[in-house]
Amino acid sequence: MPEVNLDKVSTRKTARVIVVRGAPGVGKTTVAKKIRAMLKTRKKAHISIDQLQECDLRGPSKDKMKLGIYHAALMVRSFVREGFDVIVDYVFDIPSDLEFFVENVFRSHSGPVAPTFVQVFYLDAPYETVRRRNTERALVMNEGLLKKLHKACDKTKSCLVGETIIDTATLSPINTARAIVNQCQGLSSPGKKSHIQVD
């Protein structure tokens, strides 16, 4: 697999946070792993908020989800301070959760956070594609909850300014990751809503 150098590490002045969001089963964690393999930067980290939430042994609740998002933000802030590029994957089906996450990355009482460029990518796929992929996962999600979260995510996919929407229905995880890395390199038009798909 070819490595892609987003910038020369020695000349970089800005840390990069790449947020990969979308419905469960769309391939966020798989794509995030491909992105981290492609990044040639020496300092890089990958945080899967779902995995982080497993540290909290309580049953599912809004408080548990919020706490996981908060701790992910603290981890991102620590990595950014050390000059890391950070890839974060999570559903973020509620836009205010993403706002809460970003706000807590930059909120600090212990000193300024390094300049950071945050890019958000929404991985999109029709429900039937997500349902099929869900059956191939190690932890299969209940179909009722999957449908509910897919619908919630689908409603929010165009509401974030600057978010890039990627149609993954016909893209492999590696090609989805390449599309994201290309966008991060500025080969596409950064900073505005765009749709990436293969006809």
Cβ neighbour number for residue 16 with a 10 Å cutoff: 20
Question: What is the DSSP-derived secondary structure letter of residue 54?
Answer: T
Is 6 inside a domain boundary? no
Amino acid at 173: P
Question: What average pLDDT does range 62-85 have in this prediction?
Answer: 92
pLDDT tens-digit series, residues 88-118: 999 998 989 999 999 998 887 666 676 788 8
Q: Does residue 26 lie within any of the structural domains?
A: yes
pLDDT of 75 higher than 90: yes
Q: Is residue 91 part of a domain?
A: yes
120, part of any domain: yes
The pLDDT tens digits of the residues spanning 127-161 come to 999 999 988 887 788 899 999 999 999 999 888 88
Report residue 13 as tokens: 């002045």
Q: How many domains does the chain have?
A: 1
- What does the pLDDT average to over 10-33? 84
- Chain segment 167-199, per-residue pLDDT in tens: 999 899 999 999 999 888 764 443 344 443 332
Burial 135-150 (b: 16+ CB within 10 A, else e): eeeeeebeeeebeebb
With a pLDDT cut of 70, the percent of the chain lying above it is: 83
Cα separation, 133 vs 104, whole angstroms? 32
Indicate whether 144 belongs to any domain: yes
Q: Which domain holds residue 148?
A: 13-196
Q: How many other β-carbons are positioned within 10 Å of the β-carbon of residue 103?
A: 11
